[in-house]
Amino acid sequence: MNLLLIVIFLLLPLLVYAFISPKANIFGRVISIVNTDNARDIFLTFDDGPNGIWTEGVLEVLDRFNVKATFFLIRKNVEKYPELVKMIYERGHSIGNHSCSHSYFLPFSTYKNIKKELFKTGDLILKLTGKKPEFFRPPHGLKTPRLIRAAKDLGYQTVTWSIMAKDYWKNQKAMKIVEDILANLDKGNIVVLHDGVAERENADRKEMLIALETILVTLRERCYQFKSM
């Protein structure tokens, strides 16, 4: 067998792991867990918004519990709901860059195109809030060296997660979402929920909202503290 093919065969599992694993730093530094002095610190994040009444619902629940979170926003939704972007920021939450269109193919694009997409998203958020995002979350968590380098060159820290609930699945019930979160708390403290679903415009987030309230009540009872990035 050709030596190059042998090398590729041996490296392939490592490359796949680096591409899809939220914890892999092989292609460049990513933040999948925040090391704090308090093991019960939780960093709650929301992806794929803003999303109309569902993002408003998330903000209402967070306000009621006095919890701050981080919202990773997609440019196409920022363009559709600029007032919601301002509302997120004015209520004291952090905002991150989640690309223009949430494409699976973004990691394979050219360095120039990646930078352009991230810049356009961040620039629009800056114009609406007066603050440039500090964090970038790759669409679907997929990473390449080029993607991470482009984000770094624009001044972003790349953030993934340690706990991803399956709340973006159709018909996923609230209690299953809660179970996904609570069952994995010992694995890390950056939690992802979705106030939007990139592939479905105006996606119904009712079950996620029900789950969110249960999660906040349960973790408060367990003395967890919620923080934004």
Please give the positions annotated as active site. Answer: 47, 194
Instruction: Read off φ and ψ for residue 45, nearest 5 degrees.
Output: -130, 150
Cα–Cα–Cα angle for 110, 113, 115, nearest 5°? 110
DSSP three-state, residue 158:
strand
DSSP three-state, residue 207:
helix
DSSP three-state, residue 212:
helix
Alpha-carbon span 216 to 7, nearest angstrom: 48
User: Within a 13 Å sphere around the CA of 70, how many CA atoms are in the beta-carbon half?
Assistant: 23
Q: Which two tokens mark 195?
A: 């106030």
Give the distance, in angstroms, between the CA of residue 162 and the centroid of all CA atoms in the same chain: 11
